[in-house]
Amino acid sequence: MTGPMPAGAPAQAAAAWPSASTRLAGVVGHPVSHSLSPRLHQAAYRALAIDWAYLAFDVVPESFEAAVEGAKALGVVGFSVTMPHKAAAARLATRRSAIVRRLGAANTLTFSGRQIVADNTDCEGFIADLRQEISFEPQGRRCGVIGAGGAARAVIVALAEAGASEVLVVNRTRARAFQAAMLVPNSGRVGRPEELDTADLIVKATPAGMLGEAGQTNSSAGESLVDSSRFGSGQVVVDLVYDPPVTEWLKRAAANGARVHGGLGMLVHQAAGQVELWTGARPPLAEMWEAVGRRANRP
Ligand code: NAP
C-alpha cells in the first residue's frame, strides 16, 4: 500500500509512504484505541528521520501468542506491550532482562532473529521522568506508593533500585500490598495512609480519577484510597494517571502546597526507552513531548 504521507511519517519519504523498506513496530493491548504510543513513537521516528511506522494492535488475550509469533515471522521490529498482556509477554519471551524476571512483566518485546527479547522500560522511564522533569532524586528519600498492581510494582522496584531509603506500599487489598512490598525486601514495607504524611515522594498508581472511553471519569476506577489534601509543602506528589494529564486528586495536593506531577512523563520516558532500545539512537524527547502536549502536564 502506498499513499499520501501521514502526519508522523518520515519527512524524507514524502513521495510514497510507506515504502517496501518501511519497518514496522507497534503497541499490543486490549483495549488499545486510546493509546498515545503511536503518537509518541511516530514523532520519534520522524525526528530521527528513519523510515519506520508504528501501529496499535487490539489483540485479545487468547490471540496474544499468535500475534507475537506472527510479528516475529513478519520481521516486525518490536512491540510495546500494555494491559492485559505484560505478564504473558514476559512468559513468552526467549530472553528476559533482570527487571522482567523480577517483576514477571514486560512492556517491550524485541524481535531479534529467532529470539523474542523482553524488557521493561517502565522502571527506568519512571526514574528518568523524576530526575529529568522535576529534578527529584530518589536516593536516600522516603517514598510511598499507593497501589500494588502492575504500574505500582514497577515503581516500587524502580524506587528501591534508585536507592530510596524506604518504600511504603499502601493498597486496598492488603495481601497484594505485602506481595508488592516483598519485591524489595530491604526497603519495602506495607504502610497505612497516614504514614504517607511524612514521605518525601508519594506516587499514586491506581486508576482513580482516570477518564473513560467517552471522556467521563471512569466510575469503575473508584475514589482514591488516600485523600491528597493531606499532602503539602515539601512533598512531591505524582499521579500515574495521564488522562487527564492533571487529575483532580493532584490539584487538591497542589492547592495544599505540594509539588505535583502527572503521568504523561512516565509514559514519554518509557517510550523513549523503547526508541533507544530499538534504534540505538538518543530519543528525541522534545518532539515526543510535543506529540502529547507537554504544557498539558502542568497544573
Ligand atoms: P492494575 O494492575 O489493574 O492495578 C490497579 C491498582 O489500583 C491495584 O492496586 C488496585 O487495588 C487499585 N485500585 C483499583 N481500583 C481501586 C479503587 N476503586 N480503590 C482503591 N484502589 C483501587 O493497574 P495498573 O496497570 O497498575 O495501572 C494503574 C494506573 O496507572 C492506571 O490508571 C494506568 O493508566 C496508570 N499507568 C500509567 C502509566 C504511565 O506511564 N503513566 C503506566 C502504567 C499505568 P487492589 O489490589 O485492591 O485491586
Residues 187 and 117: their CA atoms lie apart, in Å, by: 29
Encode pLDDT of 165-201 as tens digits. 999 999 999 999 999 999 999 999 999 999 999 999 9
With a 6 Å cutoff on the Cβ, whether 266 touches ligand 1 is yes
pLDDT of residue 52: 97
pLDDT of residue 4: 42
Ligand 1 atom 14: the closest Cα is on which residue?
206
pLDDT of residue 2: 37
pLDDT of residue 225: 84
Task: Tell me the best of 240, 248, 264, 266 to mutate to test the pocket of ligand 1, counting ligand atoms within 8 Å of each CB and taking the most.
Answer: 240
User: Residue 291: how many CB atoms within 10 A of its CB?
Assistant: 23
Q: How far is CA 235 from the centre of its chain?
A: 22
pLDDT at 221 over 80: no
Measuring CA to CA, which residue among 141, 148, 165, 136 is closest to residue 260? Answer: 136
Which residues are CB-neighbours of 62 under 8 A, at least 6 positions away?
none
pLDDT of residue 217: 56
With a 6 Å cutoff on the Cβ, whether 207 touches ligand 1 is yes
pLDDT of residue 211: 79
Q: How many A from CA of 146 to the centre of ligand 1?
A: 9
Residues 102 and 127: their CA atoms lie apart, in Å, by: 17
With a 6 Å cutoff on the Cβ, whether 205 touches ligand 1 is yes
Ligand 1 atom 42: the closest Cα is on which residue?
151
Q: What is the average pLDDT value for the chain, to the nearest integer?
A: 91
pLDDT of residue 11: 55
C-alpha cell at 174: 492488603
pTM, rounded to two decimals = 0.92
pLDDT at 129 over 80: yes
Residues 126 and 121: their CA atoms lie apart, in Å, by: 8
pLDDT at 5 over 80: no
Catalytic residues: 86
Q: How far is CA 270 from the centre of its chain?
A: 5
pLDDT at 220 over 80: no
Residue type, 292: V
pLDDT of residue 205: 96
With a 6 Å cutoff on the Cβ, whether 241 touches ligand 1 is yes
pLDDT at 240 over 50: yes
Higher pLDDT, 213 or 76: 76
Q: How many A from CA of 275 to the centre of ligand 1?
A: 25
